[in-house]
Chain A
Amino acid sequence: MDSVLRVEQIEKYFGNKGNVTKAIDNISFSIEKGEFVGIMGPSGSGKTTLLNCISTIDHVTTGNIQINGTDITQLKGGRLEKFRRDELGFIFQDFNLLDTLTGFENIAIALTIQGRNPSEITQLVEKAAAKLEITSVLNKFPYQMSGGQKQRVASARAIVTNPSIILADEPTGALDSKSSRLLLDAFEKLNDEMQATILMVTHDAFTASYAKRILFIKDGKVFNELIRGTDSRKEFFSRIIEVVTLLGGDTNNVF
């Protein structure tokens, strides 16, 4: 079985007795190794909650989440921190780079946190940077970089530890369209060449069209699933738009 991520009948409730909001209502899916999956949905659909649960930042109310065979809903304390550190790679909407560190250091710190052997760190960072084409900004500080460069540095930080799965939350949310394209090209490359498993949450149809498979979520449920198959990206984009229109809300982001 090659599933990197298996989500089994999870539910997440907010609030207390008498005033309960179901943010996630019985969602199940799985992601195989080397897949590039997008999760789309309008605001309030529960997609960020879902990502938070998968990334161990939040706990599910019921159900199981398995990553590489480990049930993360059973992990606690130090083992949870260790799991998050070693198995997951994060890419955030607002980059979350450390402004006092250079690009190189921002990537290297992910390795030093794991306690890697100092002698291999430089080489690993340079390899990751080369893949994301940011070798030229390694010695710059975040405030000297463009938004796209920052996000690619953040992506390099996410992949340099070679995690089981990369979780990206609105990675293009703070980028202009050119930078978005560069970043997504890089994602595609990572996915194709390194068999990196990527789970990306977005509400932007263009960003989503880079994925191989898209899960649509509405009101905490899986509403639809699109598989790109052999479609070109343009065709895939049109199909996404159709579903988005069907979904109702959030068309503002498209037109």
Chain B
Amino acid sequence: MFFKLSLRNVKRSFKDYFIYFLTLTFAVCIFYSFNSVADQEAMQDLSASQSDMIKTLKQLLSFVSIFVSVILGFLIIFANNFLIKRRKKELGLYMTLGMGKYKISRLLVTETLVVGILSLAAGLAAGVFISQGLSLLTASMFDVDFTGYAFVFSNDAMLKTVLYFGIIYLLVMVFNSIVISRYKLIDLLTAARKNEQLKVRKTAVSVMLFILSLLILGIAYGVMLKYGLMESTALVWTCVGLGSFGTLLFFMSLSGFALNIIQQSKNIYFKDINIFVLRQINSKVNTTFLSMTIICLMLFFTIGVLSSGFSLKDAMNRDLEAATPFDASVGLFIEENSSIKDIRQAEQKLGLDLDSYGETHRFTRYQTDQSLKPLLLPYKDKSSEPLVDHFDQTYVTAIARSDYEAIAAMQGKKPVKTKDNEVLLLSSAGSTFKDTFKRFTRETKTIKLNGQTYSIAGNVIDFASSTDFKGLEFLTAVVPDQAAVSMKPLHSITNIQYDGGERAKNDYLYKLLSASMRGQLQKEQGFTLSGATKTMVHETYTGASAITVFIGIYLGIIFLISSAAVLALQQLSEASDNAERYTVLKKIGVTKKGINKAIFRQIFIYFMMPLSLAILHSIFGVQVVNKEIMVAGGGNVLLSSLLTGLIIITVYGGYFLATYSGYKRIVK
């Protein structure tokens, strides 16, 4: 009997619950999909560095999932609270009929359980399919070649989803019981009649607050644009704080003030029933500026992360070929107090026979006494500025002419001939410094290295003398062999082109080099190796960008759904209060079409308000991020913005339409 009542309640209010149910299902679906990705078939056949990457991703995902479940927990409790508010009268009726609070709680618990189980089942079912697509996307992001495709159901992810959402639903039940136990019967029965008090703020105060909010936002934007993300973490957080506060002030003041402006424009104000629509929104912004602010910030995060994430991915994958001319390069840091002075010695000590890997060439890279900063500072531009500013300890490096010729030959390139008093300048960071170098070689004809003045031969050439992570050879001078000998040796490097059996060689070198990076080699052998394999560089860049994009998309979509759901639920829960107002409008002669138009405008403005400010924030935010990305090689902002726009329009627009039709149904 009891169960029947709850079941019927769920069924009857299914239309009202639709958005709630939809959100729960979405949340479950996304939660499962992202957590199951690492278990997918496509992720099984990986190289050593790739599986490390996936491990990192999995760890990150489990952290992020905790954060996500906290957000979803809040969202679900919030949504549930709205639904209870709507049903106050019904609950009051149960109470007058003699149902105790304990029983009502039990009724609600059963209802939550039914909705919970249904949404879990639906979400998991959808998730199983979505995750297949997601795994394909992930595989392509990580550049994994998957040969066989199999349908995978991840038990781990399912258990995790059920556990996390089980906890959330349990919290909802506890929360409901507390709320119910605190209600008084009289409040429940008269709930519908209680009107929210309208807060009226003075216009002058609103205008002042508004101007203040614009100032604060302007300062935050300005500081970020000027100093960028890398200057100092404290500065970034201050700007984020300022921006958030500015947003809050913006929405707080907007209501008292925007109306006044619109009232001046008689053509808008006196058109249709805009008077009513404006007042509706105005009365709500007065009381919901806090949620508006949070939604705006969440949307900003979503837009920012999605669009810069996509362009980061794009940027990271550029110039990879140019930076990796050899299958592998292993380099030794030459230290004065170490007995190992040469890469060959290091190889012997490690028992590593690199010559058996394929064609090899060994050379030394030297350091000159010419600092880079005074050289390039006058020619810096937007793209090179962040790097040039930090070049205090960076010097022009040098290689001997004979080495250059051998390396070029090994790369299958024709070496550029130079005279004895000439140097050739090389760089592997050409995409960032392109214009800077152009201006530099146009204006500067000579360069002084270790007391010797050389004339510069032609332009700076895009050339990497070894395979390494991108853009580390900022500027290398090719000097005569006898001049190189007197310079300070920096690296001793072996370049290798494999002759087959790549996988095993790659994995061995990857392990060796990553052990060196962790400092293990220094401890055990007393020296440090640098360098990379071609695969490693590719996988690190694609992997790093893929992880960023992946986590970004995960959080972004959760935030997007959360904000859209909050907006939708707010609107719908107010729809029943507004139903009376719409009845009055009907009585004084507004047509059905006119009413629908008013509802549309009201919801549209309500949805657009946080979105438009978020878009404005993002325009600045993405610019700041792009400045950093340009250092990494520049990305395609337009494409990623379009992609982001598409996601937002689909999810946000979907919620908007669902709200609109739900609202119409309630008002009718």
Contacts and interface: CB of A to CB of B under 8 A. Distances in A.
A110 B588 contact: yes
Nearest to B591: A81
B594 interface: yes
B276 A98 contact: yes
B589 A112 contact: no
A28 to B, nearest CB: 27
Interface in B275-311: 275-276, 279-280, 282-283
Interface string A111-127: 11101101101100000
Nearest to A163: B589
A119 B587 CA distance: 25
**Chain A contact residues, majority secondary structure:** helix
Interface string B158-199: 000000000000000000000000000000000000010010
Contact of A121 (B270, B283, B588): B270
Interface in A208-231: none
B588 A100 contact: no
Given A100-B581, A101-B276, A141-B198, A90 B270 contact: no
Nearest to A158: B588
Given A98-B581, A118-B267, A118-B270, A105 B587 contact: no
A108 B589 contact: no
Contacts of B271: 112, 118
B22 interface: no
Contacts of A116: 270
A113 B195 contact: no
A78 interface: yes
B584 interface: yes
A119 to B, nearest CB: 6
For A84, A85, A99, A113, the residue with the greatest tally of chain B CB atoms inside 10 Å of its CB is A113
Contact of A96 (B283, B587, B594): B587
B590 to A, nearest CB: 6
Interface string A88-105: 101010001111110001
A247 interface: no
A154 to B, nearest CB: 9
A90 B587 CA distance: 8
Nearest to B590: A113
Nearest to B279: A100
A90 B274 contact: no
Contact of B589 (A85, A97, A100, A105): A85
Given A98-B276, A100-B276, A100-B279, A113 B589 contact: yes
B591 A78 contact: yes
Main secondary structure of the interface of B (DSSP, over half): helix
A174 interface: no
A139 to B, nearest CB: 11
B392 to A, nearest CB: 63
Interface in A60-104: 78, 81-82, 84-85, 88, 90, 92, 96-101
Contacts, number: 73
A82 B593 CA distance: 12
Contacts of A108: 270, 275
A96 B584 contact: yes
B349 interface: no
Interface in A136-177: 141, 143, 157
A143 B269 CA distance: 22
Contacts of B12: none
Q: How large is the interface on B (under 10, 10 to 19, 20 to 34, 35 or more residues)?
A: 20 to 34
Nearest to A161: B589
Contacts of A81: 589, 591-592
A82 B592 CA distance: 11
A109 B283 contact: no
A138 to B, nearest CB: 13
Given A108-B275, A112-B270, A118-B270, A98 B590 contact: no
Given A112-B271, A121-B266, A157 B591 contact: no
A49 B270 CA distance: 34
A96 B272 contact: no
Interface string B575-611: 0000001001101111110100000000000000000
Nearest to A110: B588
Interface in B105-163: none
B589 to A, nearest CB: 3
B666 interface: no
A98 B279 CA distance: 10
Contact of A112 (B195, B198, B272, B283): B272
Interface string B485-527: 0000000000000000000000000000000000000000000
Interface in A166-220: none
Interface in B184-219: 195, 198
B461 interface: no
B273 interface: yes
A109 B269 contact: no
Contacts of B590: 85, 113
A99 B581 contact: yes
A78 B589 CA distance: 11
Contacts of B280: 100
Contacts of A113: 272-273, 588-590, 594
A109 B198 contact: no
A90 B279 contact: no
A115 B587 CA distance: 17
A98 B280 CA distance: 10
B273 A111 contact: no
B273 to A, nearest CB: 6
Contacts of B274: 112
Contacts of B589: 81, 84-85, 88, 110, 113
Nearest to B266: A118
26 contacts: A81-B592, A82-B591, A85-B590, A90-B588, A96-B584, A96-B587, A97-B584, A98-B276, A98-B581, A98-B584, A98-B585, A100-B279, A100-B581, A108-B275, A109-B275, A112-B271, A112-B274, A112-B275, A113-B272, A113-B588, A116-B270, A118-B266, A118-B270, A121-B266, A121-B270, A122-B266
- The 10 A-B residue pairs with the shortest CB-CB distance, nearest first, are A85-B589, A118-B270, A118-B266, A100-B279, A96-B584, A81-B591, A105-B275, A100-B283, A112-B270, A121-B270
Given A110-B589, A115-B272, 8 more contacts: A82-B591, A98-B276, A100-B280, A105-B279, A110-B588, A113-B589, A113-B590, A118-B271
